[in-house]
Structure 1
Amino acid sequence: MTSRNWYVIQCKAKESFRAAENLENQGFEVFHPFIQVEKVRQGKLKLIDEPLFPYYLFIHLSEVADNWRPIRSTRGVLKLVSFGHQPVRVADDLVEMLRERVAPQPEDYLKAGDRVLIEEGPFKGLNAIFQTKKGEERVILLLDLLQKQQRLEVPVKAIRPL
């Protein structure tokens, strides 16, 4: 079995998602870390996917078994990052650490009845019970206030599981 290494690809401006998709369609293993950011679009607050490293993504290649030629002509790709004429290798540990850091959002793995901690807003530091998602950006929690369970709607990014 041939050894595979991670390399860095520089993408054209605002085309890293396109480059990642086209490379994957060609059978390459690609890691394109992104985060979700709340932004106002058309007067509404929306979660937008933004690359963690604008203009860059990682590709897993073998120096022997893989055909590197199609990479350069892939839509969205500018070049394989190199020093001199040698492509830059990235440590496997770094890529694995990045994969862990950009793990799924809480609403992807929470289920009704799970306990959460509110980390932002006026109820910061209080424990609540996850009830359901409300759209893409918000969740509904049950919070014990005034000796009664109150329904509370908060942004997804404001909670974390306990």
Structure 2
Amino acid sequence: MKSDWYVVQTLVRSEVKACANLERQGFTTYFPRYSKRRRHARRTEIVTAPLFPRYLFVKAETGLHRWRSINGTFGVSRIVEFGGEPACIDSDIVNGIRSRECEGLVVLAPQVRTGAAVRFRDGAFYESIGLVEEADDERRVLVLLDILGRKVRVNVDVAALEAI
């Protein structure tokens, strides 16, 4: 029997419920999540968020499982299909996402590059705009800011910046 990965669309904020119910039926599931910084009411907190909101991966043996049972599972909206057949995902894609995990969460690459204009989303320089001078692999970025007519280098966490 051949096992393949398939994509399942869930109901709104029902990914965890869908995973539990699918696993109870004998399917293997993968629900990738990442850490993100959320600002609300002048507070910043780190929360876990779905990498693909409303979607998860299901691994199933093609001859063993019935696809209609996936669509009838609590928390599931539908299995993604093309031409009436469930859409198969290459296992290298799922393995690639899993290889970027650390402590169960996917680590995302910084979205800023050298020379890009960025805005500070957090900290003492909130809403200031600067240019990325250097980005390293440790999630730190060296940014050039124009403060009082002088160029100043600031070393900050990439999570405190957004590309503009």
Offset of residue 53 of structure 1: 0.9
Aligned to 1:119: 140
3-state SS of the aligned residue for 1:97? helix
Q: Which amino acid aligns with 2:19?
A: A
Distance 1:118 1:31, change over 3 A: closer
Aligned to 1:10: 9
Distance 1:85 1:101, change over 3 A: same
Q: For 2:52 and 2:76, how far apart are their aligned partners in 1?
A: 14
Q: For 2:65 and 2:81, how far apart are their aligned partners in 1?
A: 17
Tell me the number of residue pairs that the alignment of Structure 1 and Structure 2 aligns.
Answer: 118
TM-score for both structures, normalised by structure 1: 0.60
Offset of residue 77 of structure 1: 0.3
1:1-162 correspondence to structure 2 within 5 Å: 2-40=1-39, 44-104=43-103, 117=138, 119=140, 124=156
Offset of residue 95 of structure 1: 0.7
Cα displacement string for residues 66-98 of structure 1 (whole angstroms, at most 9, x for unaligned residues): 243431121110011001111100001111001
Distance 1:52 1:69, change over 3 A: same
TM-score for both structures, normalised by structure 2: 0.60
Q: Which amino acid aligns with 1:57?
A: L
What is the alpha-carbon root mean square deviation over aligned residues? 2.9
Offset of residue 57 of structure 1: 0.7
Identity %: 29
Distance 1:93 1:118, change over 3 A: closer
3-state SS of the aligned residue for 2:102? coil
Of the structure 1 ranges 2-11 and 60-69, higher mean CA displacement relative to structure 2 is found in: 60-69
Residue segments in structure 1 that go unaligned for 5+ positions in a row: 107-116, 125-154
